[in-house]
């Protein structure tokens, strides 16, 4: 006989029974009842609100058992861990549950309340994760003393150099120790990134460059000689770039650095420019050729130290480590991140990580683009919406690309900000 949750998923339950399910009134085991409620809350437009209200007041003992059980379905754990649904007494159990994704905990670590900060400072799992400790250190609710303590813990735990547990990994997993201090900030950031993610780099193996959305997405067509159009891609006949030095691209002339060829004020004659300068499409094709020949470590190095054009391609890399390395690049500009925040052809991990970095979280255009991006995880959008101006809330409430939940909350917040003295009817 099918489980009740399977019947609910397949819409094989009559409306009166579905309504009872949304109120938590079915005769099923507590663990299955929570699973049904979460499914309704996430996927059912009619009974979803009722299910969310039921979950908010659900029995503490049953909720705690679900939060602590590694066998609890991922959808349930994600729901319980989301900032808008989090019940403080469940947090210690969720923190230690290995089935709760670290990315979810990173969101809480970076933007959680003082209560969340306190729980994470006591969490064994958090103390063993450099990602969580770093995210926690960026939380505005962390006191200066706690921030200092977090950095001391990072250093004491050996996250700044290969730890003993990594000793069994092959030597290639770690960057060679430099004879002297790195020459610049990019070298320092790159070295720290390679050490911190050494195990993940080894686990990824030799995965090639596979951009989200395909290699041709976002590549513009350029008019070829004779009036017809050709597309600048990896296969297009563009200038070959030697991949042996991915971290040291040739400097661009000032007239090209300001934008695509032909838009700046050239100091050299136009004829000479046509011979020595790559067009935007040719430059993009050259970057694709270079990137396609690099392994993961090479692409990470290029993400940290390459050009703007190369970063715009690497942020779409299907390998998460490479895409996230772009955001750690000391060369990245706010304008680039504003563009990344609005892109639909990037990993969700990229959109989740952007607001965790304080520099980007302070940029209103970045925050706005993230909330308006339908690919941004809902818990991230919900956490950022409170920062939107009233005009953007109005536009968001009618934006059909984002989820209904986002639109409804935007409308509610718009009404509240339009008339702060008038309580919203919800």
pLDDT score recorded for residue 172 = 39
**Per-residue pLDDT, 159:** 56
- Counting residues of the chain whose pLDDT is more than 70, the rounded percentage is 75
Tell me the HSE value of 339 on the side-chain side, using a 13 A CA sphere. 13
What CA–CA distance (Å, rounded) separates 92 from 86?
11
Q: 214-223, 254-263, 276-285, 379-388: which has the minimum mean pLDDT?
A: 254-263
Query: What is the distance between the alpha carbons of residues 300 and 195, in angstroms, rounded to a whole number?
Result: 12
Q: Looking at the predicted structure, is the pLDDT value of residue 349 above 80?
A: yes
CA dihedral 394, 376, 316, 131 (to 10 degrees): 130
Query: Whole-angstrom Cα distance, residue 71 to residue 54?
Result: 22
Distance in angstroms (rounded) separating the CA atoms of residues 16 and 406: 28
380 neighbors 351 (Cβ within 8 angstroms): yes
Joined tokens for residue 384: 């950022």
pLDDT tens for each residue of 115-130: 888 888 899 898 888 8
34-66 pLDDT per residue, tens: 999 999 999 998 998 899 889 888 888 999 999
CA 31 to chain CA mean position, Å: 30
Q: What is the pLDDT of residue 422?
A: 55
Residue 75: both structure tokens together: 């959808």
In terms of Cα–Cα distance, which of 350, 395, 346, 349 is closest to 372? 395
Asked if 288 and 302 count as a contact pair (C-beta separation under 8 A), the reply is no
Q: What are phi and psi of 270, to 5 degrees?
A: -60, -35
Which runs of consecutive H residues, i.e. helices, occur in 90-129? 91-96, 102-111, 114-121, 124-127
Task: State the average pLDDT over residues 179-193.
Answer: 66
Instruction: Please state, in angstroms and rounded to a whole number, the distance separating the CA atoms of residues 411 and 418.
Output: 10
pLDDT tens by residue, 122-173: 998 988 888 888 888 888 888 888 888 888 877 776 654 333 333 333 333 3
Evaluate whether 396 touches 407 at the Cβ level (below 8 Å): yes
Instruction: Give the whole-angstrom CA distance, residue 278 versus residue 268.
Output: 15
Q: Find all residues with CB under 8 Å of 16, minimum gap 6, and list them.
A: none
List CB contacts of 145: < 8 A, sequence separation 6 or more. none
Task: Provide CB contacts within 8 A for 131, sequence distance 6+.
Answer: 102, 106
| pLDDT tens profile 3-18 | 898 998 888 889 899 9
Q: Is 424 exposed, middle or buried (0-12, 13-18, 19+ CB in 10 A)?
A: exposed
Who wins on pLDDT, 131 or 424?
131
pTM over 0.85: no
Residues 6+ apart with CB under 8 A from 195: 160, 161, 162, 174, 175
For 224-270, write each residue's pLDDT tens digit.
Answer: 333 333 333 333 333 333 333 333 344 444 443 444 444 444 444 44
Q: Which of 205, 208, 197 is nearest to 349 (CA)?
A: 197
Percent share of the chain, pLDDT over 90: 33
The residues pairing with 214 across neighbouring beta strands, listed in sequence order, are none
């Amino acid at each position: 006989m099918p489980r009740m949750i399977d019947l609910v998923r397949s819409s094989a339950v009559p409306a009166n029974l579905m309504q009872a399910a949304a109120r938590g009134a079915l005769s099923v085991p507590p663990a299955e009842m929570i699973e049904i409620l979460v499914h309704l809350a996430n996927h059912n437009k009619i009974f979803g609100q009722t299910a969310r209200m039921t979950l908010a007041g659900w029995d503490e003992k049953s909720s705690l058992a679900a939060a602590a059980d590694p066998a609890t379905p991922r959808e349930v754990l994600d729901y319980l861990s989301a900032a808008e649904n989090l019940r403080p007494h469940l947090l210690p159990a969720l923190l230690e549950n290995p089935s709760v994704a670290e990315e979810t905990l990173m969101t809480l670590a970076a933007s959680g309340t003082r209560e969340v900060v306190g729980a994470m400072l006591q969490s064994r799992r958090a103390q063993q994760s450099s990602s969580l400790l770093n995210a926690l250190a960026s939380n505005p609710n962390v006191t200066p003393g706690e921030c200092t303590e977090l950095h001391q813990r990072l250093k004491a735990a050996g996250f700044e150099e290969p730890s003993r547990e990594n000793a069994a990994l092959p030597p290639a997993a770690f960057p060679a120790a430099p004879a002297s201090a790195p020459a610049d900030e990019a070298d320092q950031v790159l070295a720290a990134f390679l050490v911190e993610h050494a195990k993940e780099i080894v686990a990824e193996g030799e995965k090639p460059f596979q951009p989200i959305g395909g290699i041709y997405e976002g590549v513009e067509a350029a008019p070829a000689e004779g009036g017809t159009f050709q597309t600048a891609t990896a296969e297009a006949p563009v200038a070959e770039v030697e991949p042996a030095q991915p971290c040291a691209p040739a400097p661009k002339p000032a007239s090209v650095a300001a934008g695509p060829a032909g838009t700046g004020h050239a100091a050299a004659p136009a004829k000479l420019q046509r011979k020595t300068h790559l067009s935007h499409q040719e430059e993009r094709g050259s970057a694709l050729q270079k990137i396609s020949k690099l392994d993961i470590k090479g692409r990470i190095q290029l993400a940290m130290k390459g050009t703007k054009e190369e970063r715009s391609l690497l942020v779409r890399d299907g390998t998460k480590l490479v895409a996230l390395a772009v955001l750690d690049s000391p060369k990245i500009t706010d304008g680039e991140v504003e563009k990344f925040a609005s892109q639909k052809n990037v990993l969700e991990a990229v959109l989740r990580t952007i607001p965790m970095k304080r520099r980007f979280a302070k940029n209103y255009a970045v925050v706005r683009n993230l909330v308006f991006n339908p690919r941004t995880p809902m818990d991230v959008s919900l956490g950022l919406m409170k920062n939107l101006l009233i005009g953007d809330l109005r536009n968001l409430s009618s934006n059909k690309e984002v989820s209904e939940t986002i639109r409804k909350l935007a409308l509610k917040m718009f009404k509240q900000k339009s008339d702060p003295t008038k309580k919203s009817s919800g």
